[in-house]
Amino acid sequence: MQYARVIRKLNETGHTDVTSMKGKVKIALDALNKMQGELDKLSDDAPLPTWWTNKVAVAVDNLDSMADNIGNQIEDK
């Protein structure tokens, strides 16, 4: 019974998807601004770690797909 009480407590936190995603998008924007600021300090031919550039490429692809998807869902309503 204690397990059920914990689940009920978690569901009663007032969490909403939109509020949560607004917070996550703000975190992403802050991270992007920080990265842009650091990249602006570098020359265009400065080396970057491959692991980092790969993560950026995947993240940008995911973000772009999500932005397209949410835009299409809103337009379909």
At 22-41, the pLDDT tens digits run: 999 999 999 999 999 999 99
Residues 35 and 55 in one domain: no
pLDDT at 16: 76
pTM of the model: 0.69
Q: Read off φ and ψ for residue 16, nearest 5 degrees.
A: -130, 150
Domain total for the chain?
A: 2
Helix, strand, coil distribution of the chain in percent, nearest 5:
80, 0, 20
Residues 53 and 40 in one domain: no
Range of the domain at 35: 16-45
Question: What is the identity of the amino acid at 10?
Answer: L
52 in any annotated domain: yes
Residues 6 or more apart whose CB falls under 8 angstroms from that of 28 comprise 63
Mean pLDDT in residue range 5-31: 76
Whole-number average pLDDT of the chain: 84
What are the pLDDT digits (tens) for 46-63?
Answer: 999 999 999 999 999 999
Residues 24 and 41 in one domain: yes
